[in-house]
Structure formats: C-alpha cells, structure tokens
Amino acid sequence: MLVEALTGKDFRDVVRARLIEPLGLELELFMSLPPSEWHRTAPMHAPDAAGGLAVAPVEASATFRQAGFAAGGAHGTARAMAMFYQMLARGGSLGATRLFAPRTMDFVTRDFTGDRVDEQIGIAMHRGLGPFSRGTTLETRGLGTIGHSRTFGHSGVGSSQCWADPVSGVSFAFLSNARQGNDWHNRRMDRISNLIHVAILH
C-alpha cells in the first residue's frame, strides 16, 4: 500500500492521525473498530435465500471489524461522515483545520471520465480520483438527478451514500445496516438525495 510505503506506518494509524483526529471525529469514526466499541454498532444484514434479511456473517466477524482495510473497512456514524464530507465540500478545511489544499480538492474531484459509460455499472460514473461526481448525464448513481453537476461522493455496497455539493456547501451521509441490491439502493439514494437538493435554496 502506497501510504505505508511512504510513511513506514500502518495505514490505519496514518488515517487516524492525519484525517480523523484533526477533525475531532475519533469517537465516531474508526479505521479499525476496537472490541470496546462493538456494542455501538448495528450488525450488517444482507438478503437471504428466503427473500428476507439475515446478519451478514463476514461483516459481523471480529476479523472484519478490526481489519480497517481501505475499501469498506471503516466504521462510523452518519454525523461523522457528514462532517468529513463537509470538510471536502469546503475545499479541504473544516473550521480552523485544513487537511487539503483547495487545488488538491479541485483535482481529485474533477470529472476525468466524462460521459464514458462504466462497463461494470452500465452508466457514466464521472469518476475523479476516488469519488465520482454527478456530472451532466441524465442517470446518476445515487447523487440525485437534480443535484449540481459538481456534487461528488461515494456509495457503499448497497448500504450507504455520502456526498458533498461544493457549490452550496451542503454535505450528506446516509448509513444503513441493511445491504440491498445496487439497483434498488441507487434508486433509493437518488430519491433521498433529490429531497436534499430540492431543499437547497441558494
């Protein structure tokens, strides 16, 4: 992993020291969930063979909770994620704390793929260097069809969506412990996101 190669430190420790703690989110956002915090979590559920929902055994395991891997390994509250995205919406700063330069934020949230259709997803994803953006195509993946084209964010395997609108300064986080199919989840998030966007009056 590049972070560990450059710093010589554990990725999880770097994320905590450089991102989570400076924003004051260390009690709500974890890149490795210690056993002392497990009682605060809601177990992830996933569709079962009978058409219902059942506890997802992998996500419920101690190994998963403590792994803190880069793709899907964080545990946190919606408030913490909304605050993190608020920092991103404000060009890399929150209050007196600056984590990224505005130019860095402009670069990583730039739409590098334009209208090109993502073959795995089936629609244009308007990908940046990490997040994807709303872009200008009709379809979107949960960011809201009426959202500003510069709105950017990321979703989490049929269970979550976080985004930031740098034009209005609004940030949003939705977390669920019921993983659904991506098509259903994307429709759900598009509707919820549109309710947020329509309330933005400036």
| Overall pTM > 0.75 | yes
Q: What is the three-state SS of 7-59?
A: HCCCHHHHHHHHHHCCCCCCCCEECCCCHHHHHHCCCCEEECCCCCEEECHHH
Amino acid 41: pLDDT = 93
Domains and CATH numbers, the chain: 1-76 (no CATH), 77-202 (3.40.710.10)
Can you list the residues of the chain whose pLDDT is less than 70? none
Amino acid 199: pLDDT = 96
At 150-181, the pLDDT tens digits run 999 999 888 999 999 999 999 999 999 999 88
Do residues 188 and 93 make contact, with C-beta atoms less than 8 angstroms apart?
Answer: no
Amino acid 202: pLDDT = 78
Q: What backbone phi and psi angles, to 5 degrees, belong to 98? A: -110, 125
Give the count of beta carbons closer than 10 Å to the beta carbon of residue 179. Answer: 19
